[in-house]
């Protein structure tokens, strides 16, 4: 391994070397030759339950208004709308170990910070134009997640017909538990999904009440974008979303997965 200090500036520029040569410490010589970047970049991972492997996250998709009662509370008619999706950056991932109370930072810029409990599907295969009856073959596992939302900013931007990304796609806005292999849990097409704040139940529904099933979501998404291993999909939240403030404890439950709890700090 060549020490970065021994690479003079001219050579470094010519070779495209920089932090990478340090970041590549411990990697094979062959890999080092291939990887020439001006700085190292960390991959985001989610732990896989019962495994020493971790799931590398490629893209985070989220479906909007996927439970009828929630669509109505957001001011739309669920019966006439095709599904729509948005993304969060991988930086949004905050891993929450099961059965522990994990601190979650109240974000900047908002005065109306909302919870949305959701089932998350994690893909280990990809493709385009996946038919619904083949879509679940792409699913590697499932996790319990939260699509945390700066509701005031989401609404403010929406009212002005501007992208509401700032309301949805920010640091730590995607708390998530470990991924459970589908071979162990089966597919989640029904079962209780629930969220409580400080012990009071706020959201409670059944996964079967999704307007677009996970299979249909995968199929629809694959018409818009080629899907890839590492993509994860937040499958929407039931009605009765609402605000939290510092000190509140959010507890999420889905039948068949361990509970996930965060404390807003």
Contact call for residues 3 and 24 (beta carbons, < 8 A): no
Q: What angle do CA 93, 96, 102 make, to 5 degrees?
A: 115
Question: Segment 212-241, which members bind Mn ion (CB under 5 A)?
Answer: 237
Q: Pick the closer one to Mn ion by CB: 94 or 237.
A: 237
Residue 50: other Cβ atoms inside 10 A: 10
Q: Pick the closer one to Mn ion by CB: 32 or 116.
A: 116
Q: With binding defined as CB under 5 A, does residue 147 bind Mn ion? A: yes
No. of helices (H) and no. of strands (E), the chain = 9, 18
Contact call for residues 148 and 116 (beta carbons, < 8 A): yes
Q: Pick the closer one to Mn ion by CB: 147 or 194.
A: 147
As measured in angstroms, the least distance from the Cβ of 120 to Mn ion is 11
Which one among 116, 173, 251, 261 touches Mn ion, defined by CB under 5 A?
Answer: 116
Q: Pick the closer one to Mn ion by CB: 54 or 73.
A: 73
Q: With binding defined as CB under 5 A, does residue 164 bind Mn ion? A: no
Q: Pick the closer one to Mn ion by CB: 21 or 119.
A: 119
Contacting range for Mn ion; rule: CB under 5 A; set: 6-14, 144-152, 196-204, 221-229:
144-152
Q: With binding defined as CB under 5 A, does residue 32 bind Mn ion? A: no
Closest CA to 117 of 144, 93, 98, 92: 144
Residue 190: other Cβ atoms inside 10 A: 12
Number of residues engaging Mn ion in binding (CB under 5 A): 3
d(CA 116, CA 91): 18
Q: Where does this chain bind Mn ion (CB under 5 A)? A: 116, 147, 237
């Amino acid at each position: 391994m060549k020490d970065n200090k021994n690479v003079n500036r001219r050579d470094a520029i010519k070779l495209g070397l920089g932090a990478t040569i340090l970041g590549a410490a411990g990697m094979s010589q062959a890999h080092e030759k291939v990887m020439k970047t001006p700085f190292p970049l960390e991959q985001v991972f989610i732990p896989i339950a019962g495994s020493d492997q971790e799931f590398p996250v490629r893209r985070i998709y989220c479906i909007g208004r996927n439970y009828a009662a929630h669509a109505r509370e957001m001011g739309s008619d669920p019966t006439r709308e095709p599904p729509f999706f948005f993304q969060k950056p991988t930086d949004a991932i905050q891993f929450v170990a099961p059965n522990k109370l994990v601190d979650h930072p109240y974000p900047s810029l908002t005065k109306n910070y909302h919870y949305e409990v959701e089932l998350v599907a994690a893909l280990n295969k990809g493709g385009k134009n996946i038919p619904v009856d083949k879509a679940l073959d792409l699913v590697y596992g499932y996790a319990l997640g939260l699509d945390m939302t700066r509701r005031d900013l989401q609404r403010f931007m929406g009212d002005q017909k501007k992208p509401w990304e700032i309301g949805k796609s920010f640091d730590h806005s995607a708390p998530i538990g470990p991924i459970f292999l589908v071979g162990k849990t089966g597919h989640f097409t029904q079962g209780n999904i629930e969220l409580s704040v400080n012990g009071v139940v706020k959201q409670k529904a059944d996964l079967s009440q999704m307007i677009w099933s996970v299979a249909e979501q995968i199929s629809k998404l694959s018409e818009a974008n080629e899907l890839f291993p590492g993509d994860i999909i937040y499958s929407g939240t039931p009605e009765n979303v609402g605000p939290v403030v510092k000190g509140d404890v959010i507890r999420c439950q889905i039948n068949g997965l361990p509970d996930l709890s965060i404390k807003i700090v």
